[in-house]
Structure 1
Amino acid sequence: NTIHALLGRNGAGKTTLMQVLTGQEFETSGTVEVFGAAPRENAAVLSRVCFVKESQRYPDNFRVTHALRAARLLFPNWDAAFAAQLVEEFALREKQLIKRLSRGQLSAVGVIIGLASRAPLTFFDEPYLGLDAVARQLFYDRLLTDYSEHPRTVVLSTHLIDEVSDLIEHVVLIDKGKILLDEDAEALRDRAVTVTGPGSAVEQFVAGRPELHREQLGGFLRVTVTGAPARPVGTDLEFEPVSLQQFVVRTTQSHGPQHNDGPVGAGAGRRESS
């Protein structure tokens, strides 16, 4: 029971990975097991999995209430009272036609289904698209509260890393279809530091340390290094903590420019939405 952040730039393979794990794509090599079994066309597995897609499609005549009724039939742990509460909090009406909803309202429908499903394994693929800051915070608050009361595994794909940094317990970072990080979020928060000061002093301090980023500022140098180095006393060096978002960005950048050379699963040679 953990809230995982699935991170990576556009085209990294995040959506493809989630599609493979939820039985919607075939893996191109290896084996995939969810709850100890292959997920594809496996009702016993898929009844315990909820996948909230960034671009979920509904029949043209569907209203919000139809989507909620369908979810009730799909998910054994469905909480209708919680869903009704969320509909009100996100300012939706159950009789609204889904095809007439705004981008943010459509995202809210997905968020409601994902939360109220209480599925043991829930995937949210960029669920915040179109949601304003207030609605996004409502999602984060309800997710954290309900997760505390009903522990389960949540996988959250997002680019808004700083916004969710207080929620996530584990980070998986992928780029070009490869896993760069698969670690506890708390450990990553203390992994790197940015050092700024006179060029020669900074060079001496960072010598031999793995670098994530460096930039020249006139006669000064600013370098981000990994590890938790002892900070010398009585020097002209300045030290800044590196946020989780900065660490993820710098780690990704350190592995080169973006290009697709074989994303995870069935998406090889094809760009994907996130």
Structure 2
Amino acid sequence: MTAVIEVNNLTKRYRETLALDDVSFTIQKDRIYGLLGRNGAGKTTAMSILTAQNFATSGEVRVFGQNPYENAGVLSRICFVRESQKYPDDAVPRHAFRTARLFFPHWDQDFADRLVEEFQLPMKKTIKKLSRGQLSAVGVIIGLASRAEITFFDEPYLGLDAVARQIFYDRLLEDYAQHPRTVILSSHLIDEVSNLIERVIVVDRGRVLLDDDTDAVRGRATNVVGDAAAVDAFIRDREVIHRESLGRVTSVTVLGTLTAADRDGLAARGLEIAPVSLQQLIVRLTQHASEPRAAHAPAEAAEKGAVR
């Protein structure tokens, strides 16, 4: 496979806040990635550096094998859709789309027009007067119709209702199948996007906690429920990332793939097992990882503001 983004030992510090801490990962061509993690984890900071809208404190970033900063040849091949995008006070959606058409060489106006209809976007209203969902629709339309070789969607669903979010997911998959490109999707609605993404990168407190194919990630953990004593006997020498108890009944989430012998042993003990969804796994992993790193908590709070 061909790498279109290479990140090596990337660090970003804002005074006393460590937003990214020696992060390394690779993004391959023509795949859909989920860049996931809690608010303040460092996701937006990483995307901003990759799109030359922010500077690294140290480390190396290569996009299409080059440094993206002040590199028009690279930036014209990238689209970054973010919640905080600013427009002139008198701009209407048509102005935003005309500008995008000039900047992105693969822009599809027919596709953009179709999306305008599907999202029921009012084209004569100024962007500053649009609802939050309508403003999100402007960004989503630009991200899809640009057909940029690399497209970043940073929380693209904010303000969109369930119907509009499903339109976005459906059109993304349909157009990706016809026009493959690299998509990096940052989202809090992990269960909703889990069927879209092919690879998961989880960032927690400025570090990469998980980087793996989505199918492999889904099999990494199992929920085990039953009598507390029987559960404790089973989980001995296993890594537990979450535990809940109510009376004598205990539920634990354990890492690792269960063998046939494990399943037979669980049945013999009267224990029940259930799969762990991608969202559950990421929530449990980030909670588990944060326990011994409580000293880093200020970084999360700071990134919710300037660092996001």
TM-score with structure 2 length normalisation?
0.85
C-alpha separation in 1, matches of 2:246 and 2:256:
23
The answer to whether residue 251 in structure 2 is matched with residue 251 in structure 1 is no
- Give the 3 Å change call, closer, same or farther, for CA 102–270 of structure 1 in structure 2: closer
- Aligned match for 1:46, one of 52, 75, 78: 75
Unaligned segments of structure 2, at least 5 residues: 1-29
Partner of 1:183: 212
- Aligned match for 2:49, one of 17, 20, 35: 20
- Give the 3 Å change call, closer, same or farther, for CA 269–145 of structure 1 in structure 2: closer
Higher RCO (CA-CA < 8 Å; seq separation 6+): 1
Partner of 2:98: 69
- Aligned match for 1:148, one of 148, 163, 177: 177
Instruction: Give 1:54 deviation, angstroms.
Output: 1.1
- Aligned match for 2:226, one of 186, 193, 197: 197
CA contact (8 A) 1:13 1:272 kept: no
Instruction: Give 1:93 deviation, angstroms.
Output: 3.0
The answer to whether residue 278 in structure 2 is matched with residue 224 in structure 1 is no
Instruction: Give 1:95 deviation, angstroms.
Output: 2.3
Instruction: Give 1:136 deviation, angstroms.
Output: 0.3
CA contact (8 A) 2:42 2:303 kept: no
Matches within 5 A, 1:1-274: 1-229=30-258, 230-231=262-263, 232=265, 233-256=267-290, 259-260=296-297, 271-272=305-306, 274=308
Question: After the TM superposition, which segments of 4 or more aligned residues of structure 1 sit over 3 Å from their partners?
Answer: 257-263, 268-274
Q: Deviations over 1:26-77 (max 9, x none)?
A: 1111111111000111000000000001111100010110000000011011
Greater share of residues in helix: 2
Q: Secondary structure at the match of 1:168?
A: coil
- Give the 3 Å change call, closer, same or farther, for CA 221–269 of structure 1 in structure 2: closer
C-alpha separation in 2, matches of 1:114 and 1:43:
18
CA contact (8 A) 1:11 1:272 kept: no
C-alpha separation in 2, matches of 1:16 and 1:97:
29
Q: Secondary structure at the match of 2:113?
A: helix
Report the aligned-residue RMSD: 1.7
Q: Deviations over 1:112-160 (max 9, x none)?
A: 0000000000000000000000000000000010001100000000000
Mean CA deviation greater in 222-231 or 142-151: 222-231
TM-score with structure 1 length normalisation?
0.95
C-alpha separation in 2, matches of 1:13 and 1:175:
7
Q: Secondary structure at the match of 2:74?
A: helix
C-alpha separation in 1, matches of 2:197 and 2:255:
21
CA contact (8 A) 1:11 1:260 kept: no
C-alpha separation in 2, matches of 1:136 and 1:199:
41
- Give the 3 Å change call, closer, same or farther, for CA 269–80 of structure 1 in structure 2: closer
The one-letter amino acid paired with 1:255 is: A
Q: Secondary structure at the match of 2:60?
A: coil
Greater share of residues in strand: 2
- Give the 3 Å change call, closer, same or farther, for CA 59–269 of structure 1 in structure 2: closer
C-alpha separation in 1, matches of 2:299 and 2:201:
18
Q: Secondary structure at the match of 1:32?
A: strand
Instruction: Give 1:96 deviation, angstroms.
Output: 2.2
Instruction: Give 1:204 deviation, angstroms.
Output: 1.0
Instruction: Give 1:269 deviation, angstroms.
Output: 7.5
The one-letter amino acid paired with 2:34 is: A
The one-letter amino acid paired with 2:154 is: D
The one-letter amino acid paired with 1:28 is: T
